[in-house]
Copies of this chain bind each other. A is one copy, B any other.
Amino acid sequence: DKPFVLIAGPCQLETRQHAFDMAGAVKEITDRLGIGFIYKTSFDKANRTSRNATRGLGLELALPIFEDLKKELGLPVLTDVHERDQCAEVASVVDVLQIPAFLCRQTDLLEAAAQTGKVVNVKKGQFLAPWDMKNVVNKVVDAGNPNVLATERGVSFGYNTLVNDMRALPIMKEQCRCPVVIDATHSVQQPGGQGTASGGDRRMVPHIATAAVSLGVAAVFIETHQDPDNAPSDGPNMVKLDELEALLARLRKFDELAKVA
């Protein structure tokens, strides 16, 4: 029952400078608050709504940046993988391999990620019941890697809408027997909600995060950006960097209460 860890960063890796700016800024905040911090960013947005959307720097350019971020800022790094053959290479640098929600049932990908020995964070599919995540987690564990995280990020609720079922958190905690994470950013996404891009409502992030933290989570996943409205992806649901510290400070209080009470 340790304090929650923050998994945060901009949705996608834009430039080396931007990555260092964002990682440095968030690190200062989490250092002040005494919160553990894992830097999250994507080298490739592999499932954009539209083919014309920006996808990120790509693996080759990203890995050296990840490496330098780790070295210079002393930060663990999390990024997502999409196909088996990326796993080993990505794992040579990053600390946490993330399995995207759409891919949470792809057995080969889960096993390839597992076999790297790195921590594997699996996002619960938008189509998956919380009690079915134990099968997903077991695919990683049975492949020899007990270091799994299970992340709630909302479930399909009609069209272009997700809802968080807060019961998913205690159910996954009990059944998956692994740390449970709340992704407060993608939970408030409106998939495809803008025609050729996904919408979202960042005003809801603090509510989802607070409710989840009050039930006791191991980590909080929040994407953040200095200027979300101009970010290349997930802008509508990223938290503004200059609002992050107040949010985290507040979450920290609910976290303490949840873990003491």
Contacts and interface: CB of A to CB of B under 8 A. Distances in A.
A43 B160 CA distance: 33
A16 interface: no
Interface string A188-205: 100110001000000010
Contacts of A170: 204, 207
Contact of A108 (B46, B127, B156): B46
A82 B108 contact: yes
Interface in A210-252: 210-215, 250
A25 interface: no
Given A106-B47, A158-B158, A127 B191 contact: yes
Copy tally for this chain in the complex stands at 4
Interface in A163-187: 163-167, 169-170
Given A51-B139, A127-B156, A156-B155, A207 B84 contact: no
A105 interface: yes
B159 A156 contact: no
Interface in A64-123: 82-85, 102-103, 105-108, 111
Contact of A105 (B49, B160, B204): B49
8 contacts: A103-B103, A127-B127, A127-B191, A155-B156, A167-B208, A210-B214, A211-B214, A254-B254
Interface of A: 46-51, 55, 82-85, 102-103, 105-108, 111, 125-132, 135, 138-139, 142-143, 155-161, 163-167, 169-170, 188, 191-192, 196, 204, 207-208, 210-215, 250, 253-254, 257-258, 261
